[in-house]
Amino acid sequence: MSPRSTAARLAVVAAAAALSALAVGTPAHAASGDNDADEAYGTYQGRVTARTGLLLRDSPTRGGRVLRSEPYGAIVSIFCKTAGDRVDGNNRWYLLTDGTWAWGSARYIDNIGKAPRWC
């Protein structure tokens, strides 16, 4: 991976964190069940399909540092998607917002509802 793409991905993570902080501080968003508002702040949902659990990483690469894991069947919140390393032919990765910001391979996360937007 080139330094330029690493810097760009870090910028995406920083922007995602800033938007998340904004969403947390917005009472109208928290009180409403409006799906359009939820999508604007990145609350897409997915279900983990990896039978042995899904390792979540600090970058959208197979070599990224493992931050935590999610068990099979867990429902996760997805902020956005990006292209990264291929996992079983799928190069999409999701930036998850459950507790920590971490990347999970879309190969092992089924969308619930609409597919996430691009980062």
Residue 63 · residue 96 · CB < 8 Å = no
Structure tokens at 77: 């919140």
Of residues 116 and 19, more confidence is placed in 116
- SS3 label, residue 11: helix
Question: How does pLDDT run across 43-70, given as a tens digit for each residue?
Answer: 799 999 999 999 999 999 999 999 999 9
Q: What is the pLDDT of residues 69-92, one digit of tens each?
A: 999 999 999 999 999 999 999 999
In Å, what is the CA distance from 28 to each residue of 20, 57, 78, 118?
14, 32, 20, 24
According to the model, what pLDDT value does residue 3 have? 45
AA letter at 59: S
Span 14-30, average pLDDT: 38
Domains of the chain plus CATH, in order, are: 3-112 (2.30.30.40)
